[in-house]
Amino acid sequence: MVNPLGRNIKSAIRIDNGAKIRIGNQVGMSCVVLWAKGQIDIGDNVMIGADVMILDSDMHSLNYMNRRDFRTDASDAKVLPITIGNDVFIGTRSIISKGTSIGDRSIVAAGSVVTKSIPADEIWGGNPALFLKKIQH
């Protein structure tokens, strides 16, 4: 299936040495980037919109001298796990940053940058993503 929001770009999943990605059952993804240097855990019944990036690391050193050489560039990049709960919806073109978790049934609005953990049953959005409202069941 082609999603026009993803402009027919292929998804990319990169798992570095020793890293893990767990994807639950009934997970839908369109044109996403998953890059694990540590661990990314995605629950069941999750929808991940087009062009979403889920990155559990800074990917590059914060030290400019290390960045000058590709062999040391990622040597001290900070790595923290990401956990995405069950029944989560992540809107198109969002970025999920290292060390965050998204609670069950929560929604991330399109174009958001998640830098803090999101509790269950909440809607967050913006850059950086902020609490918008509780979800009533």
d(CA 118, CA 107): 9
Residue 117 amino acid letter = S
Q: What are phi and psi of 130, to 5 degrees?
A: -125, 160
Q: How far apart are CA 36 and CA 82, in angstroms?
A: 9
14, 22, 60, 116: the catalytic one is 60
Record the tokens describing residue 18, joined without a space: 């020793």
Residue 4 CB-half CA count within 13 A: 0
What is the C-alpha radius of gyration for the chain, rounded to an integer number of angstroms? Answer: 15
Catalytic annotation present for 137: no
Our separate counts of H helices and E strands in the chain read 1, 15
The residues annotated with a catalytic role in the active site are 60
